[in-house]
A and B are shown apart, each in its own frame.
Chain A
Amino acid sequence: MPWTKIQADDSRRQVSFGTTGHAARELSYRDAIREALSQALNTDPKVFLIGEGIDDPGGVFGTTVGLKDIYGAERVMDSPIAENGMTGVAIGAAMTGMRPVFIHMRVDFLPMCMDQIINHAAKWSYMTGGKVKVPLTIRAVVGRGWGSAAQHSQSLQALFAHIPGLRVLMPATPYDAKGLLLGSISGNSPAIIIEHRWLYDMKAGVPEEPYIIHPGIGQIRREGRDITIVATSYMVYEALLAAEELEKEGISVEVLDLRSVLPVDEDLIVESVTKTGRVIAADNGWKHCGVSSEIAAIVAEKAYSCLKAPVKRFCLPFVPTPACHSLEKAYYPTSSDLADLVRGML
């Protein structure tokens, strides 16, 4: 098993966003994903990539560019647009010894696959008494802006985070994009990795050698005393901008990057909120029955006595995404809105 030779980084070291941090070499989020895929294909002959258009010149926003030339069309496969059926094909392959990575250009296509993801992939280990595992990794990208509208911009992590048997990961940094992806591919559970299109150009330190990050470990991105912002994906970036703005006013914000929505690092949330006494849950999705609800519930159940103010949530307005520029601008909350929310809690 070649994966056992690869080091795991399960630390909760503080690494700031946009700095080299882990390594001198800087890599974009996009290139970190591509490097992880390439290293997985190179490490294990059981790994293959499949998805509609993954071998086209664009290469899923650059994350699969050139991989077919290196590893061949047998392992970097274009696919019919048959999301549910092809998810079943990937699951069937995973049950019988392969480690497929199924790639979708938009998260919005995942609802087409719900039967196979929820009824099959998530249940198979349990239904077979642990005898058959499904080491399937699904990548899907959240779109935003330029009139992407209601079916090309959804952030549906909460739908999957409700299901026992799945892993749901939301890397916000290039380091995590590589480590969580390699961790999923080498693991034995079906995992859904939700990437954000607006993170793709961000650069930070990424070691060249392969490494894995296990799910369920959050990361403190910025230490603070007055309030904790627990954030996912692109919201980590908004939270860091808000923290910078508030620092000028003497407000000290701690930013916790959840990284993994299922499982959730409850201990890190409780530890941080115990210190600061205030918390905002900031998520790219909607509030209602969302990831932010889960964070609020964890705090209410496990850190209530530490709270100096009621928990607040920072999410999208509860409407589908509009297309036109004026409404799109009104739809996405900004770091200034988040800073205002913090001011109101102090």
Chain B
Amino acid sequence: MLRIRLFEDRTAVLYPEQLIKCPVHLCIGQEAISAGVCAHLEKEDYIFSTHRSHGHCIAKGMDLKPIAAELYGRSTGCAKGRGGSMHLVDTENGIPGTTAIVGGCIPLAVGAALSARMQKSKRISVAFFGDGAADEGVFQESLNYASLKKLPVVFVCENNFYATNSPQKARQPEVNIVERANGYGIPGVLADGNDVLAVYETFREAAARARSGEGPMLLEYRTYRWKGHVGPNADIEIGCRPADEYEEWLKRCPVDAFMTYLSKAGVLTDAENEAIIARIEKDVDEAIAFGKSGPEPDASELLDYVY
């Protein structure tokens, strides 16, 4: 969680340099969901994600260096500069790719679950998506099929209440997204997405069900993104979201809340916390240096990798 926060914070700080020449969709404020979910996943389990995928990939075990290099458009990036921030990939860590089409990753995750079953592996598959994806037809189609076949997939909806700048209330009737699970005969759980322990506890059952062949679950985690839909600014000043709503959510920082919890429980001292932060900051330093220093793909390579 801290690793995600520090990488995303650094990206936001560096973005105005305009050396990262691609759109970035930061997940600051939403880190607890990535961390709580991926803590239950094995290296070979699959995750499928969206344009806002940095947090998911980092929590799944992806090294920061190929992410940074991809942001900087280098040959050393995870997709050799062809994907950018919206298309991270790490097959070694169960990340077959991420998509920037809202909802697009959901059936892909179902397909990977079908594949895992057909190949008789123990792998499970997780689809991360937002409340905007619940507007899409493929969300319904995927729940239907995964339930029908009892596939080892978990649907994780990160409800941050906005699809770009369109509020959920302007797009959906006031029915909790999690209730769609009822229509497909699968369990659904609604939980606080800013409480990493709540995420961890609720995902435990979903992972166990998927692994034991009992079929999918739909999890709705309520959260909030601190930045605008895209880029390093909060976009409050330009009227994208109400300032008071934003201020309220800032008080519910998932990282601070967990640090405080650990501190009170006597698990983590201030000195230990500072040492962890320093270690991660060093990783981020190295990742950014790696990202900035790699070679850019040559124009002669333009047509590579189409097939």
CB nearest neighbor in B for A92? B111
Q: Counting CB contacts under 8 A, is A227 at the interface?
A: no
Beyond known contacts A85-B140, A120-B108, A129-B78: 14 more, CB 8 A cutoff: A84-B107, A84-B141, A89-B107, A90-B111, A95-B112, A96-B96, A97-B119, A98-B115, A119-B104, A128-B305, A129-B77, A129-B89, A131-B91, A132-B96
**Does B93 sit at the interface, judged by CB under 8 A?**
no
A and B contact pairs by CB, cutoff 8 A, 9 listed: A85-B107, A93-B111, A96-B46, A98-B115, A98-B119, A116-B107, A128-B82, A128-B305, A129-B89
Select one of A80, A88, A125 contacting B108, CB under 8 A.
A88
In the bound complex, what is the Cα–Cα distance between A165 and B305 (angstroms)? 9
Of residues 125 through 148 on chain B, the ones whose CB sits less than 8 Å from some CB of chain A are 125, 137-138, 140-142, 144-145, 148
Q: Which of A173-222 contact B (CB under 8 A)?
A: 188-189
A129 touches B82 (CB 8 A): yes
Q: Report A77-115 residues with CB < 8 Å from chain B CB.
A: 79-80, 82, 84-98, 115
Contact status B112-A96, CB under 8 Å: yes
In the complex, B216 has a CB within 8 A of chain A:
no
A127 touching B144, Cβ below 8 Å: no
B104 & A116 in contact (Cβ 8 Å cutoff):
yes
* From B79, B118, B140, contact of A131 by CB (8 A): B79
- Interface flags, A114-126, vs B, CB<8A=1, else 0: 0110011000111
Q: A126-B306, A129-B80, A130-B305 are in contact. Are A89 and B145 (CB under 8 A)?
A: yes
Residues of A within 8 A of B115 (CB): 92-93, 95-98
- Complex CA gap A74/B115 in Å reads 11
Bound complex: CA A231 to CA B199 (Å): 59
Contacts of A94 in B (CB 8 A): 111
Whether A234 sits at the interface, judged by CB under 8 Å, is no
Nearest 7 A-B pairs (CB), nearest first?
A: A92-B111, A88-B107, A85-B141, A129-B80, A130-B305, A92-B108, A82-B141
Which A residues are CB-close (under 8 A) to B137?
A: 82, 84-85
Q: Mark B287-303, 1 if CB is under 8 A from A, else 0.
A: 00000000000000000
Residue of A with least CB distance to B114: A93
In contact, A127 and B141 (Cβ under 8 angstroms): no
Q: Interface on A for B, CB 8 Å cutoff? A: 46, 48, 74-75, 79-80, 82, 84-98, 115-116, 119-120, 124-132, 164-165, 188-189
User: B114: which A residues are within 8 A, CB to CB?
Assistant: 89, 92-93, 98
Tell me, rounded to whole Å, the shortest Cβ–Cβ distance linking B116 to chain A.
7
Q: How far does the alpha carbon of A307 sit from the alpha carbon of B138 in the complex, in Å?
A: 50
- Do A88 and B142 touch across chains, with their CB atoms under 8 A apart? yes
| Contact partners of B125 in chain A: CB under 8 A | 92
C-alpha gap A90/B141 in the complex (Å) = 13
Contacts of B306 in A (CB 8 A): 125-126, 164-165
Say yes or no: B138 contacts A128, CB within 8 Å: no
B305 and A80 within 8 A (CB): no
The distance in angstroms between the C-alpha atoms of A132 and B104, with both chains bound, is 16
Q: Are A96 and B116 in contact (CB under 8 A)?
A: yes
Contacts of A124 in B (CB 8 A): 97
Partner of A128, one of B83, B142, B145: B83
**CB neighbours of A92 from chain B (8 A):** 48, 96, 107-115, 125
B46, B80, B115: most-surrounded residue (chain A CB, <10 A): B115
Determine the chain B residues whose CB is within 8 A of the CB of A97 once the complex forms.
Answer: 115, 119
For the complex, what is the distance from the CA of A266 to the CA of B161, rounded to whole Å?
Answer: 52
CB distance from B72 to the nearest CB of A (A): 14
B contact residues around A84 at 8 Å (CB): 107, 137-138, 141
Nearest residue (CB) in A for B70 is A129
Alpha-carbon distance between A124 and B112 when the two chains are bound, in angstroms:
15
Say whether B89 contacts A88, CB under 8 Å. Answer: no
| B174 at interface, CB cutoff 8 A | no
Given the complex of chains A and B, what is the CA–CA distance between A154 and B110 in angstroms?
Answer: 30
CB of B101 within 8 Å of the partner chain: yes
Q: How far is the CB of B45 from chain A (nearest CB, A)?
A: 11
Q: Within the complex, which residue of A86, A95, A164, A165 is in contact with B141, where a contact is CB–CB below 8 Å?
A: A86
A128 and B79 contacting across the interface, CB-CB below 8 Å: yes
A87 to B89, CA, bound (A): 21
Interface centre among A46, A90, A127, A189 (most CB of B within 10 A): A127
CB neighbours of B97 from chain A (8 A): 95, 124, 127-128, 132
